[in-house]
Structure 1
Amino acid sequence: MSVSLEISPPSSEFPLGVHRARAPHNLNVAVYAPGVSALAVHFQSQDGSWHAAALTDYTDGVHHGAVEGLADSVRYGFWPTGTDQPETGQLLLDPYARAIDTIDTAEGPVYWSVYVEDGGFDWGSSAPPRTHWRDTVVYEAHVKGLTQLHPDIPAELRGTYAGLAHPVMIGYLTALGITAVELLPVHFHIDEPHLGPLGLTNYWGYNTLGYFAPHPSYATEAARNAGPRAVQDEFKGMVKLLHEAGLEVILDVVYNHTAEGPPDLPALSWRGLGDEQYYRHGDHGRYLDTTGCGNTLNFAHPRVIALALDSLRYWVEEFHVDGFRFDLAVSLARDERHTFTPRHPFLVAAGADRALRGVKLIAEPWDIGMGGWQTGNFPQGWADWNDRFRDTVRDFWLTDQASLAAGGAAGSVARLAGCLSGSADVFGPSGRTSISSVNLITAHDGFTLADLSSYSRKHNEANGEENRDGHNDNRSYNHGMEGPTDQEGIVAARSQTSRNLMATLLLSLGVPMITAGDEFGRSQRGNNNAYCQDNELAWLHWDHDDDARHLLEHTRSLLRIRKEFLAHQPHSYPARDDSSYLHWFNPAGTPMTEEQWRDEGSRSVQLLLGSPNGILDGLVVINGSRDDARITLPGRDALRESGLPSITRFELRYTTAANQDRRRGARIGAGETEVIPANSISVYRI
């Protein structure tokens, strides 16, 4: 298969990967492979013939050499010299490959690294929006699922990078009030072996095989046929158009584990190059799994840290992305003793790196290892997914309601108030504010917003694991019937619960994240682990009925209200001392006391929103009980007692209560009594 070629010196141990060398016709090839004594690069020349060149230079675990004949868009891979090549044809992939090609064979897929020279895209005047954290609204979406069924996007663009950047999609997102699109993994990924026999694939993409390579399946057919550079350009074109519309692009990245599979399967890359260095090992050399996926990368090793940092820089500098959400980020911050530390070199380096300055860094602050729950403990410069916010809001509007409906007890409004005010108790100890709290009620993993109020248990039978997969602690409530129903009372109650959940998310301090489709009530029919459902179950449907349009308009209204309120705040809002601009009142319209906050039976509260300049912006009134409540809005004496300026009236701007839209614009005098419907939120302007 191979013909030996002479190496043309000199070569360098950095940068890793394949890059233009000093000699005009040579490429510098460098790969960190300390587990191999001698290594060769095998590549296919442009005439289709295969060649091999020994990487004769070796520096600090890096095999390197200057190779002639390896050109742009050429496939290549590595293999130890002096050993037989695998019969499958699968060589070891370059961890720094800019593209990966898949060849289907009778024995299964074979993957090849592809050399693509960096640069060459015309960005014009496009620039990152650099949206302040204070103003950020994140929209978590899947590249394919977002547009695959959209009737107003051309068929050839649906489900692609280009489709996401189509004017129809951009117009929808900007009209909704989104500022940042957070994309599920777009790094090159593959399917787990057990999915093939089930006729399923890894739809979400949390099974990475290439940290520098865009996933080609999300490109249009025209781009795929034109080659890897065209795929890159389509991705860059998407980013460019989103930036021009003021939208940031955040990538969900999976540096915690790789897609290589268990040790009994053939090595694809890292395991064959340096298993001991790349992967985390415990006692007696056995693999240590802190992710639940196997193949946990060893972030106690400097070369693994460098791999992740190089990848991050590449996506910022070459593709102009605006931020990253780190899957199972605790695994990226475990030291040589496998212990999480907020001063881990990776966290420090990512926060201090010049290329990453101003880039949004979001941690999924947990994994399955010892001490794996670390919400609030990441360092300054990082934001965390706030699972406490998620669980507390679900408890108040779902499980508590289920308990009350069954004649049981429910939790106090005090915990919900902590969420509304930015979870200061969670983020304060790390020296951060609620700007570091990415508030969420749903994400790709778990029930959708609509399913939270329609199912009390998961329904994952379609995943082929007899409903064993997925979370069991969903904190959901079906309102009296499991799944779809035509009973008007149940439908109305579910809709109101959905509005309550969305309103709580968008009225709270911190950074809200909406899962794509929640804004109009998308359902996955009770599947809370749709990672393998690349079909209409997981794709967004755009043929909205009246209920979907109603929830969508509610979401738009809430985002407008949020933007109006924040417009009066400094861009640093909320800083640690800004809690004084939140004023809490009880149902009688007087300031909340410590005793009232401790009252476990209290389900109602009023939040008066202020500003550093002394302006009072609005009032949020929450009634989490099963009965309508007579609430006295704060009056002159109560405001004076709180050191606030006098208010004469409140104007109803928004309510989650059914059949109350007609009251929008109603004016109520300060100190007067207002009936707040059961299980609802009302928002007033001043």
Structure 2
Amino acid sequence: MLSQWLPSALTNLNSVTDFKPADFALPAPSTSDIEPESPAMASKQPFMQFQYPLPYGAILQENGVQFAVYSRSATAMSVLLYKRHSDRDPYKVIKFDPATDRWGDIWSIYVPDLKAGQLYHYQADGPYLPEKGHRFNPQARLIDPYARALAGRFQPSDDGIVRPPKCVVVDDTFDWQGDRHLRRPLSETIIYEMHVRGFTRGSASETDHPGTYLGVIEKIPYLKSLGVTAVELMPIHEFPINATNGEKQDRGNYWGYDSLAFFSPHRGYQHGTKAGDQVRQFKEMVRALHAAGIEVILDVVFNHTSEGNHLGPTFSFKGLENQVYYMLNDDGTYKNYSGCGNTVNGNHPICREMIFHCLRHWVYNYHIDGFRFDLASILSRNRHGELVPNPPMVELIAEDPMLADTKVIAEAWDAAGAFQVGSFSDLRWAEWNGHYRDDIRRYWRGEAGRLGPIATRVSGSSDLYQNGTRKPYHSINFVTSHDGYTLNDLVSYERKHNQANGEDNRDGDNNNYSANYGVEGPTRRKFIVELRRRQAKNMMATLLLSQGTPMLVSGDEILRTQRGNNNAYCQDNAISWFDWKLVERNAEMLRFTQAIIAFRINQPSVRRQTFLTGQPTENEVLPDVTWYGPTGKPVDWNSQSRSLICVYGTHGLDDPEAKNVMILMHSGQDSQRFTIPEHLRKLPWQQLLDTSAAAPEDVHPGATGPALPASGHLKLVHHTLMCYVA
């Protein structure tokens, strides 16, 4: 099949020198109707359609544009052309001739004399039978599912016609200056989840382009100084900036989990207003991040769209082939496994093809290094919404040759009860490890009987990932994410405070495993302030010293707060923005995080590529892992103790830089005496960190701190983590 090749001449003509459009000439001409908006001005003009009818979208050719769109049930199709993104009505309407411009279920037409920057919509006629899944509206202006960029906003309507942003014909030519994917192994990756706008929007950001792709470029030195190796960008696919009826929204859409056009970088993050310029600026950002050694992972939302349920507007998929793009109930209403009103029919062949093309588009045209799939369990559901083994979409992503050197990460659950952490796929998929998040939180807030869970999570979650072909690094470890408390709020609030969201505090998770240590929210009580900071350090250190792939959230390294809001999806303001004043104010926490990241990068003992066994060795090399209780004896896993010693040995590591790492954890409310086993005292242990110590003694970069006492005895005060290296 010739359609949608591996990104080649048809997806980026400028990358191939030996392609000629005439090479794919069709044998017969076709005549299409070109009509202005007014029927009274209708006129006919013959066009010679000599292009192959695929790929989908608006593809720029040498002397015009090829438009191709899928619709099985449409009875008529048109392209609407606009001069400005503010225009309410098109200056020209071009009708497809079903006899000559339709190939199977693909409507395709070549229009000469159009250039990059051309604005357009589709318009489709067909049956309106919602109970049978059809929602065609001949007046609706439709966004191309394969649009490469959008321009403008939803416009207010006084005639019942929804006017969404215009699609933009894009020229993908770009000077990448030799850039390619960085191909960093997942085992050596440290992920930094961030929001493009929020990272540089704050008044203290001191950027020339706040809230934009270009603003991120200006902050690359900070990312380099922190030491992270990849940024995971919250959704940058197009999503509505304003309400889809053109009116002002009561609450803004900040996070972006409301997809509008999967192939388009969000226009809200571009500098300036030139239509399509977000494409160039996004590529400049990726190129600059790669030059700094930082990979780019996209958080993608293929589980629902912003068209909503049966009460929602029609501006794209609904008006082209509603029954194919969405999962429907027998009465034509929408299945809602996403919790957002509709569910994309991800395992229908047409949707699989679209998602497949989309991922290749971002990998090839934007050099993206990986993807995190929001509510990925929906991709495990068949066309009827049932969870199935070996779902085609999941397998296709894992096996696609163009995605072979990218990272694929699943949020392995959905809003309808599916929870597949550890069982999402036996292939190369990594997963957000929700068990890790919960077990680390529960241990450090002092729950008894948590020794087994904390040890399992720190050592790579073998209970979840050892069966099959996956490795410890397929566990994406995190304590916090965009969805929930920040690290600072996790140790400052016991109840969510989401009143600002306008939903009477009903939204957001009620089960956070958090603690406030005596006062809800901000306090000046020194004891509580110090304990909260220590707990933040404990969880940050645990995250970065655990086997698996760590992910931290932008701002946690400087103790950013959302004032107890654990669902700030609509807060495009200081609640959500990175507070650059805290870089100096909380320099202690920043320095602590930087030092442990640097240690992790340089120390293979804490980022093994195989699961730990704990098997004894025949020489003096320590086993890959051993566990002890605070008395120095083997752990009683049934104990209610809150104290644990973990020792990573170098056995099995063929790396001269590998060192032994000893981690002492105590989450109790009283002090605890630790005794180091006698055979370990022979090693030249030096301290890396002590979370109970005042800065700068809390962390010693390069593990140059005090030696382990010769007695082998240590006293850890309440809620403390120590780490020694030998």
TM-score, length-scaled by structure 1: 0.89
Shift in Å, 1:611: 4.3
Q: Is 1:361 paired with 2:361?
A: no
Residue aligning to 2:207: 154
Three-state SS of the structure 1 residue aligned to 2:416 is: coil
What CA deviation, in whole Å up to 9, does each residue of 1:174-195 have, x standing for no partner?
1111000011111110156699
Residue aligning to 1:51: 93
Shift in Å, 1:218: 0.4
Residue aligning to 1:587: 630
What CA deviation, in whole Å up to 9, does each residue of 1:127-149 have, x standing for no partner?
32211111100000000100112
Counterpart CA distance in 2 for 1:545 and 1:511 is 25
Residue aligning to 1:642: none
Q: Is 1:216 paired with 2:246?
A: no
TM-score, length-scaled by structure 2: 0.85
Three-state SS of the structure 2 residue aligned to 1:240 is: helix
Counterpart CA distance in 1 for 2:197 and 2:363 is 22
Q: Is 1:327 paired with 2:374?
A: yes
Residue aligning to 1:607: 647
Q: Please show how residues 225-240 of structure 1 align to structure 2 within 5 Å.
A: 225=274, 227-228=275-276, 230-240=277-287
Does the Cα contact within 8 Å between 1:195 and 1:201 map onto a contact in 2? no
**Could you tell me the percent identity over the aligned residues?**
34
Q: Is 1:19 paired with 2:70?
A: no
Amino acid in structure 2 at the alignment position of 1:502: M
Residue aligning to 1:78: 122
Which residue, 644, 650, 660 being the options, matches 2:685?
650
What CA deviation, in whole Å up to 9, does each residue of 1:208-266 have, x standing for no partner?
11111111110112xx23x31x2211110000010000000011111100111232343
Shift in Å, 1:375: 4.1
Does the Cα contact within 8 Å between 1:520 and 1:552 map onto a contact in 2? yes
Amino acid in structure 2 at the alignment position of 1:468: R
Shift in Å, 1:373: 4.0
Shift in Å, 1:526: 0.5
Residue aligning to 2:148: 98
Does the Cα contact within 8 Å between 2:186 and 2:549 map onto a contact in 1? yes
How has the CA–CA distance of structure 1 residues 37 and 543 changed in structure 2, closer, same or farther, with 3 Å as cutoff?
A: same
Does the Cα contact within 8 Å between 1:453 and 1:494 map onto a contact in 2? yes
Residue aligning to 1:619: 662
Does the Cα contact within 8 Å between 2:244 and 2:313 map onto a contact in 1? no
What CA deviation, in whole Å up to 9, does each residue of 1:251-299 have, x standing for no partner?
1111100111232343111111101111012344432110000221102
Residue aligning to 2:592: 554
Name the stretch that deviates more: 661-670 or 504-513. Answer: 661-670
Counterpart CA distance in 2 for 1:617 and 1:553 is 23
What CA deviation, in whole Å up to 9, does each residue of 1:466-506 have, x standing for no partner?
11111111111111111111111111111111111111111
Q: Please show how residues 240-251 of structure 1 align to structure 2 within 5 Å.
A: 240-251=287-298
Residue aligning to 2:512: 474
Please identify which structure carries the higher helix content: 1
Q: Please show how residues 408-447 of structure 1 align to structure 2 within 5 Å.
A: 410-447=448-485
Does the Cα contact within 8 Å between 1:439 and 1:513 map onto a contact in 2? yes
How has the CA–CA distance of structure 1 residues 395 and 113 changed in structure 2, closer, same or farther, with 3 Å as cutoff?
A: same
Amino acid in structure 1 at the alignment position of 2:103: T
How has the CA–CA distance of structure 1 residues 11 and 604 changed in structure 2, closer, same or farther, with 3 Å as cutoff?
A: same
Residue aligning to 1:205: 256
Counterpart CA distance in 1 for 2:325 and 2:380 is 15
Counterpart CA distance in 1 for 2:543 and 2:340 is 31
Residue aligning to 2:22: none
Counterpart CA distance in 2 for 1:82 and 1:481 is 61
Name the stretch that deviates more: 283-292 or 4-13. Answer: 4-13
Counterpart CA distance in 2 for 1:119 and 1:256 is 27
Name the stretch that deviates more: 68-77 or 517-526. Answer: 68-77
Amino acid in structure 2 at the alignment position of 1:548: N
Does the Cα contact within 8 Å between 1:93 and 1:112 map onto a contact in 2? yes
Does the Cα contact within 8 Å between 2:300 and 2:373 map onto a contact in 1? yes
Residue aligning to 2:303: 256
What CA deviation, in whole Å up to 9, does each residue of 1:655-680 have, x standing for no partner?
11143754862112566211122211
Q: Is 1:685 paired with 2:725?
A: yes
Residue aligning to 2:178: 125
Shift in Å, 1:544: 2.2
Counterpart CA distance in 2 for 1:55 and 1:430 is 53
Counterpart CA distance in 2 for 1:119 and 1:610 is 49
Residue-pair matches, total? 654
* Structure 1 unaligned spans of 5+: 401-409, 640-645
Residue aligning to 1:404: none
Counterpart CA distance in 2 for 1:495 and 1:630 is 22
Q: Is 1:628 paired with 2:681?
A: no
Counterpart CA distance in 1 for 2:550 and 2:59 is 41
Shift in Å, 1:629: 1.5
Residue aligning to 2:444: 397
* Structure 2 unaligned spans of 5+: 1-36, 129-135, 616-623
Q: Please show how residues 280-359 of structure 1 align to structure 2 within 5 Å.
A: 280-359=327-406
Counterpart CA distance in 2 for 1:82 and 1:607 is 67
Shift in Å, 1:25: 3.5
What CA deviation, in whole Å up to 9, does each residue of 1:73-105 have, x standing for no partner?
111112135999x99975111100111122454
Does the Cα contact within 8 Å between 1:453 and 1:476 map onto a contact in 2? yes
Three-state SS of the structure 2 residue aligned to 1:631 is: strand
Residue aligning to 2:193: 140
Three-state SS of the structure 2 residue aligned to 1:211 is: strand
Does the Cα contact within 8 Å between 2:151 and 2:168 map onto a contact in 1? no
Does the Cα contact within 8 Å between 1:420 and 1:504 map onto a contact in 2? yes
Does the Cα contact within 8 Å between 1:619 and 1:684 map onto a contact in 2? yes
Shift in Å, 1:158: 1.0
Counterpart CA distance in 2 for 1:454 and 1:602 is 21
Three-state SS of the structure 2 residue aligned to 1:675 is: strand
Counterpart CA distance in 2 for 1:526 and 1:533 is 13
Does the Cα contact within 8 Å between 2:154 and 2:243 map onto a contact in 1? no
Q: Is 1:462 paired with 2:500?
A: yes
Three-state SS of the structure 1 residue aligned to 2:603 is: helix
How has the CA–CA distance of structure 1 residues 673 and 219 changed in structure 2, closer, same or farther, with 3 Å as cutoff?
A: same
Three-state SS of the structure 2 residue aligned to 1:600 is: coil
Does the Cα contact within 8 Å between 1:94 and 1:113 map onto a contact in 2? no
Shift in Å, 1:120: 1.3
Name the stretch that deviates more: 287-296 or 124-133. Answer: 124-133
How has the CA–CA distance of structure 1 residues 279 and 685 changed in structure 2, closer, same or farther, with 3 Å as cutoff?
A: same
Does the Cα contact within 8 Å between 1:652 and 1:667 map onto a contact in 2? yes
Shift in Å, 1:27: 2.7
How has the CA–CA distance of structure 1 residues 135 and 75 changed in structure 2, closer, same or farther, with 3 Å as cutoff?
A: same
Three-state SS of the structure 2 residue aligned to 1:362 is: strand
